[in-house]
Amino acid sequence: MSRLIVFNKPYGVLSQFTAEGRWQGLSDYLALPGVYAAGRLDADSEGVLILTDDGALQSRIADPRHKLPKTYWAQVEGIPDEAALTTLRQGVDLGDFVTRPAAARVIDEPAGLWPRNPPIRFRAAIPTRWIELVISEGKNRQVRRMTAKIGFPTLRLIRAAVGEWTLGELQPGEWKELHV
């Protein structure tokens, strides 16, 4: 039976066990020998990170060929209009590649959301909104690049789900183990 860990990765933590520079590593939160991250989540992003001891499962989760949906909540600067959301839904030309079409919608601030440490920058004259994006790939800083390209830079990014695995009630730094 394979081990599968759903971890709520806090801001400032790398998707590896070893710390580097100012960033913490997973070993600061998890003492689980033999499990490895299935995919990555940038240090300045928060939320679901899957770890497993099963190499084949790790590959299926991380490899974009399997098109496992990843759901993100992005707090963006400004108020995206329908045209901006349509661009996300059709795919965004980021210069080095065109993203696959994404599901995109404006949402209310997610219920039960924890405060980020450190807090995002706040500018009184510029409102923010939350959008939910569901993508089936995960290239380097893709969601941040997508929202910036349409004119709404991401201030805070939380991965809410990878496939069927969600944050649920997990707080930053907490994890749960599932047997698959």
Q: Within this chain, do residues 171 and 151 fall inside the same structural domain, yes or no?
A: no
Predicted local distance difference test score (pLDDT) of residue 78: 95
Q: With contact defined as beta carbons under 8 Å apart, do 89 and 104 qualify?
A: yes
Q: Within this chain, do residues 148 and 175 fall inside the same structural domain, yes or no?
A: no
Lowest pLDDT segment from 27-31, 52-56, 94-98, 176-180: 176-180
Q: Within this chain, do residues 83 and 115 fall inside the same structural domain, yes or no?
A: yes
What is the average per-residue pLDDT within 7-17?
96
**Tens digit of each residue's pLDDT (9 = 90 or more) over 60-117:** 888 777 778 999 999 999 999 999 999 999 999 999 999 999 999 999 999 989 999 8
Q: Within this chain, do residues 158 and 81 fall inside the same structural domain, yes or no?
A: yes
Q: Within this chain, do residues 18 and 82 fall inside the same structural domain, yes or no?
A: no
pLDDT > 90: percent of the chain: 76
| 42 noted as active-site residue | yes
Catalytic residue, candidates 42, 44, 54, 96:
42
pLDDT > 70: percent of the chain: 100
Q: Within this chain, do residues 136 and 172 fall inside the same structural domain, yes or no?
A: no
**Tens digit of each residue's pLDDT (9 = 90 or more) over 119-163:** 888 777 889 999 999 998 878 889 999 999 999 999 999 999 999
Q: Within this chain, do residues 15 and 29 fall inside the same structural domain, yes or no?
A: yes
Predicted local distance difference test score (pLDDT) of residue 62: 80
Q: Within this chain, do residues 33 and 9 fall inside the same structural domain, yes or no?
A: yes
Domain count across the chain = 2
Helix (H) or strand (E) segment spanning residue 132:
strand 128-135
Adjacent-strand bridge partners of 165: 162
- At 53, which CATH number? 3.30.70.580
Could you tell me the pTM of the whole model?
A: 0.94
Q: Domain range for residue 103?
A: 69-162
Q: Within this chain, do residues 79 and 157 fall inside the same structural domain, yes or no?
A: yes
Q: Within this chain, do residues 153 and 81 fall inside the same structural domain, yes or no?
A: yes
Q: Within this chain, do residues 56 and 45 fall inside the same structural domain, yes or no?
A: yes
Distance between CA atoms of 53 and 140, rounded to whole angstroms?
24
* Residues contacting 79, CB < 8 A, separation 6+: 127, 129
Distance between CA atoms of 118 and 22, rounded to whole angstroms?
13
pLDDT for 26 beyond 90: yes
